[in-house]
């Protein structure tokens, strides 16, 4: 039997080499190659993404989690032990991590709407404490599509660059200044 680790993605940081294989995450000491820890997200049933980000002693990963609806899930792990700190179903990868807050897109809420017959669109950005996962704020961006139904089902392209949030809104891109502070109140 071949017992070698088969990885899909390897991500080096200053002192750790992370290996991703489906829903498994492995953390190796970069200098010695020794395995520090491994973690699995069992609800993902082997379906992890290639996203991994290290920030302030925590590791963020996303997974495709299946249930009544399938959606992405954002998890945080302790960098030293690999212990799962928190997980939020429906949350995508971090747009940014600033002052102990993780800013992430809510991909779950739009799945609950009838996007093919209603022109209303919404993007929700949630802010979570990096270590505890406690939600510290939320900001909702809304618009209407101009064309006629049926409307395309799916999520708009969203990214953050230089403090501005860019959201694809049908045939245009809206840019919005997203103020990020330690005491973020996004409502």
Question: Regarding predicted confidence, which is higher, 31 or 121?
Answer: 31
Report whether pLDDT(185) > 50. Answer: no
Question: Regarding predicted confidence, which is higher, 47 or 121?
Answer: 47
Report whether pLDDT(181) > 50. Answer: no
What DSSP state is assigned to residue 7? -
User: If pLDDT is split at 50, 70 and 90, which confidence band does 179 have?
Assistant: low
Residue range 64-87: mean pLDDT, rounded: 92
- Give me the percent of the chain exceeding a pLDDT of 70: 82
Residue range 79-107: mean pLDDT, rounded: 94
**pLDDT, mean over the chain:** 84
Contacts of 106 (CB under 8 A, 6+ apart): 90, 91, 123, 124, 125, 126, 138
At 155, list the tokens.
């999520």
End-to-end distance of the chain based on CA atoms, in angstroms? Answer: 55
Residue found under tokens 């495709």: 64
Residue pLDDT, tens place only, 138-171: 888 877 877 776 666 656 688 888 888 888 877 7
Dist. CA 77–CA 60, nearest whole Å: 6
Residue range 102-128: mean pLDDT, rounded: 79
Dist. CA 110–CA 163, nearest whole Å: 24
pLDDT at 93: 94
Residue pLDDT, tens place only, 13-59: 999 999 999 999 999 999 999 999 999 999 998 899 999 999 999 99
Report whether pLDDT(132) > 80. Answer: yes
Residue range 68-84: mean pLDDT, rounded: 93
pLDDT at 148: 72
Identify how many contiguous H helices and E strands the chain contains and give both numbers.
0, 15
Per DSSP, helices labelled H in the chain are: none
Question: Regarding predicted confidence, which is higher, 78 or 122?
Answer: 78
At 106, list the tokens.
């809510």
Decide if 62 contacts 50 (C-beta within 8 A).
Answer: no
β-bridge partners, 105: 125
């Amino acid at each position: 039997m071949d017992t070698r680790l088969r990885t899909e993605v390897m991500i080096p940081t200053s002192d750790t080499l992370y290996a991703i294989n489906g829903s498994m995450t492995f953390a190796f000491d970069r200098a010695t190659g020794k395995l520090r820890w491994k973690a699995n997200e069992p609800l993902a049933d082997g379906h992890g993404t290639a996203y991994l980000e290290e920030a302030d002693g925590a590791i963020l990963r996303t997974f495709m989690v299946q249930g009544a609806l399938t959606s992405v899930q954002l998890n945080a792990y302790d960098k030293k032990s690999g212990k799962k700190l928190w997980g939020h179903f429906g949350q995508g990868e971090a747009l940014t991590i600033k002052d102990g807050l993780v800013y992430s897109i809510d991909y779950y809420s739009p799945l609950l709407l009838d996007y093919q017959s209603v022109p209303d669109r919404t993007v929700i950005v949630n802010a979570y404490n990096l270590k505890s996962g406690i939600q510290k704020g939320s900001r909702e961006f809304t618009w209407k599509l101009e064309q006629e139904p049926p409307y395309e089902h799916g999520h708009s392209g969203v990214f953050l660059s230089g403090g501005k949030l860019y959201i694809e809104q049908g045939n245009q891109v809206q840019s919005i200044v997203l103020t990020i502070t330690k005491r973020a109140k996004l409502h």
